[in-house]
Structures are given as structure tokens and as C-alpha cells.
Structure 1
Amino acid sequence: MTAYGPALRKLAVAAVALFAVAAAPSPAQARPEPRAPDGFVALRDVDPTIIQEIRYFTPHNFVGERVTGYRAPMCLLTEPAARALRKAQRTLLRRGYSLKVYDCYRPQRAVDHFVRWAEDLRDERMKEEFYPRVDKSRLFEDGYIAEKSGHSRGSTVDLTIVRLPAPPTRPYVPGEPLTPCYAPQEERFPDNSVDMGTGYDCFDTLSHTDDPRITGVQRAHRDLLRGALVKFGFVNLPEEWWHFTYKPEPFPDTYFDFPVSRRSLPHFQVEGLR
């Protein structure tokens, strides 16, 4: 063995270690961002006339901040659900109304954000608007928050109707005074929706679609929304007048976690959807 043997061995070991570090995948490479499977589309590509106000992209929601996973203010849905919405929209347009969606596909990471928020009983910054009559410690027990959501399967949508021409909705200013979601429409946060009896995401029994206290024009508006959607395959969740699921669901047992972003979508021909 020459005098250079030990030094050369050290250099060789260092080179191997350096190569191993360089060859190791980065965190981004090790965990690639999930993408939507074939069958998901952007609603705007299917029907650009449907108004979109994606609340979880904004701080105007029961959490009080943008929700994890919402990287763009857009509605993603399975293609059958989006096509069915387009049919419902056509019937409403003939009567001088438009659909407006608040939420569509919702990634599991967003649902996890809701769960973390619900477990933090100190954070009640949006209580006066969204759950003034419900103790936050009961949100799980009363069914307002759950660890899984049908929205994550891609065929569920939260929506309302707007009379045309639609006036703009002013932005919510974090920290502004809040009004209960069940207050008279002229007192609630200004939303260009017709009067449904409560605001969107109102954690209150008045949000039950067939609550007997909802009468008159409020009842007529709820029935108009439900009637337009049921005709084309949607089923309403009785506890939420705004919540509808298209049946049969293309992915009835899968809860997806790709972010809400156009980059999450598979390649497809927009022209074929128009």
C-alpha cells in the first residue's frame, strides 16, 4: 500500500456520500403534488355564464381566512356534474336568474383545515356571523364539521341563485362588524343572492331546506333552486339549502386531495365541452 492509500480512501468515501446527497430526491420530488384524474373539469370551461364566488379562497367564511388548498378562486367538478349544472343554468336564465356557486370540489386538506379550526375553541372570530347560536364545542356533535366531506369526491356543489342583471358583491373586510347569518336580508352581509332566509354556510337550523319557519318569497326561492337542480340529477342535503350532489357520482368512494387550481386538471379539449 502506498502512502496515499488512506487519503485516497477518504476522498472516495466523501465522493460517494456527495453523490448520494445529490441523487437523493428533493421533498418536492419525493411527494409530487396530486392531480385530478380524467373526468374533472373547470366549471367555467363548461358554462362561463354561471357566477362564481368561491368563499374559501377569501377570508369571508366561518374560519376567517383563506382555506388550505384553495390556490385559485375557481370551481372544479366532475364533468357530469358540470354538464348538469349547465342544463340547470339554461332553465334559470330563461326566467331571468343565474346560478352562483360558493364551493365545488374541496380538497381533503381543506377539510383537515376545518377540523383543526373546530378543535381550537379559542378562535371564534367569525362566530357572530356564521354560528351565533351554536357553541363551538358542539360543531362536531351537531354535524356542522366532519372529518370527511362529499365535496372531496368532486360532484357536490354549494350554490344559490341570483336575479339578473347581477349586482356586484363588495369584498369582505377582515375585522368589520359581523351580523348573524339568519338576520333579515337587508341586515346581513350584502350578497347578490336572492333572499334564501339565511346566508351561505349558516350553522343554524334555519338553514334546513324545509324548515317550516321559511315561508313566502324565501320558500319560493329555495324551491326554485331545488327544482332547477333536481330535474337534472342533483340531490339536496336536507340540512343545507345550498348543498347539492350530482347522482350517480363518478367517484363515490374516493376523497381527493389535489389543490383547487387549473394546474391540477388533466389535459382536455375545452372545445369539446362548449
Structure 2
Amino acid sequence: MKKILYLFIFAFSALNFAQEIPNGFVYLSDVDASIQKELRYLSNNNFIGKKIDGYKNDCVIITAQAAHQLKKVQAQLLKEGLSLKVFDAYRPQEAVNHFVKWAKVLSDTLMKQEYYPKVPKSELFNQGYIASKSGHTRGSTVDLTIVNTKTGKELDMGSPYDFFGVQSHPFYPNLTKEQKENRMLLRKMMLENNFKPYENEWWHFTLKNEPFRNTYFNFPVE
């Protein structure tokens, strides 16, 4: 009996803990479980090459308004045998601080060839790739791409996610016809569903009229 009671208390506590996110935020999987994810900052597969501070669990947290708009995008894509795939959404200020701290250590260039081959690390701040504040921390910005649901492969967008360089600009001219069409498909779908794009990154979109325009959160992703 004691064992059963203990398990019940443990499960109840875990459930409550999982729900301790600010009002207005949701777990994206609770709104649309069909949206795929690859939380890059929970792994070593990112521009730093290490798990990022503040990422503790494989879940996507985002504002409720943004989540419901993504659900609309997903519904449209699924009809075409496609799906959204999220790399990052809400990002704790702790993670942004990790980026800033890393950027100041000029000798740490573990992932340079993969993510910023032509940008000197000393220029990451000046060129706007690293900043002390991020729209992600307000909860309504999302980094994402499109995948083919049959093959599971990402559509070819012409540059990898989080690539620091002009190749990542949405209208970079030196792309194939297919790459341009893929970028414009993502852009069109997001624009039609109340997201605004970012001029330097094809994967980055922010909800128009975001609910926490001036608030930068710092609760963990878990």
C-alpha cells in the first residue's frame, strides 16, 4: 500500500512540475503532437558543439497563441505530405547568456567549419549573429523547417539551420530553383498564419502581436 501511495505522489508531483510554466505558455506537443522536433540546443549538434544551459528536456515550449498558429500551418502542410519540424522556440535567458559567454572565448571554434566557416568568431557580435537579448526568450519566436512525411527528410533549403552567413538570408540569390521554392513555401505558410520573418535567417519567424513583447523569460526548457 505504501509503495502504491508513493508512486501516486511521485507521479502527481511530476505532473505538477511539468506544468510549472508561466501562464500563456504551452508545450507544443499538447497543442499538436504531429509537429516534429529536433531540439538542437539539447544536443551537441549546434554551433557551440555542446548542450546549452537551460535546456533540460526534449520538449518545445512556446506561447499559446504561437502554438495555435503553428497548428494551422501544420494542418495545411499535412495535406501535402509535409510537416513542420521545430529546432527551437522559447529559449531561456540562461541559454542566451551561454551564447554570449561562448562568443567571447575566441579560441573555442569547435564547430566553425560547419556553422560559421567564413565569419571570424570575433565578428559574431558586430555582424548580429550573437546578441545579449533574443526574441526567442519572449516565447513567440520559432526556428523551423519543413520535412517530407514519407521520407522523413528535411526539404533542401540551401543552407543548414543556424548557419552564420549570407547563404542563410531568405532571398540569397545563389540557390537552385528547388531551394528557392522550398524557402518560399515555408515563408508563405508562416506569413499566411500571422508570423513575420527575419531578414537574415530563412528558418526564423516571430508571431505578430506577440503577447510578451517586452518580457524576457528565464525558466528552463523541461
Residue 104, structure 1, aligned to residue 105, structure 2: no
Report the Cα offset of residue 166 of structure 1: 4.1
Residue 210, structure 1, aligned to residue 195, structure 2: no
**2:59 counterpart (60, 70, 74):** 74
CA distance in 2, matches of 1:221, 1:154: 26
Report the Cα offset of residue 86 of structure 1: 0.3
CA distance in 1, matches of 2:202, 2:180: 10
Residue 199, structure 1, aligned to residue 160, structure 2: yes
Report the Cα offset of residue 193 of structure 1: 1.1
Structure 1: unaligned runs, 5 residues or longer = 1-34, 168-191, 262-274
CA distance in 2, matches of 1:110, 1:40: 18
Kindly provide the amino acid, as one letter, of the partner of residue 150 in structure 1.
G
CA distance in 2, matches of 1:214, 1:79: 35
**1:230 counterpart (191, 195, 198):** 191
Structure 2: unaligned runs, 5 residues or longer = 1-19
Change over 3 Å in CA distance of 1:216–1:158 after alignment to 2: same
Report the Cα offset of residue 215 of structure 1: 3.6
Runs of at least 4 residues of structure 1 off by over 2 A? none
Partner of 2:23: 38
Q: Give the greater-gyration-radius structure (CA).
A: 1
Partner of 1:131: 116
**2:147 counterpart (162, 166, 169):** 162
Kindly provide the amino acid, as one letter, of the partner of residue 94 in structure 1.
K
CA-atom RMSD in angstroms: 0.8
Partner of 1:49: 34
**2:213 counterpart (240, 252, 273):** 252
Kindly provide the amino acid, as one letter, of the partner of residue 138 in structure 2.
R
State TM-score, norm by structure 1. Answer: 0.73
What is the total number of aligned residue pairs between the two structures?
203
Q: Give the strand-richer structure, 1 or 2.
A: 2
Residue 86, structure 1, aligned to residue 47, structure 2: no
Q: What percentage of residue pairs aligned between the two structures are identical?
A: 51
Report the Cα offset of residue 126 of structure 1: 0.4
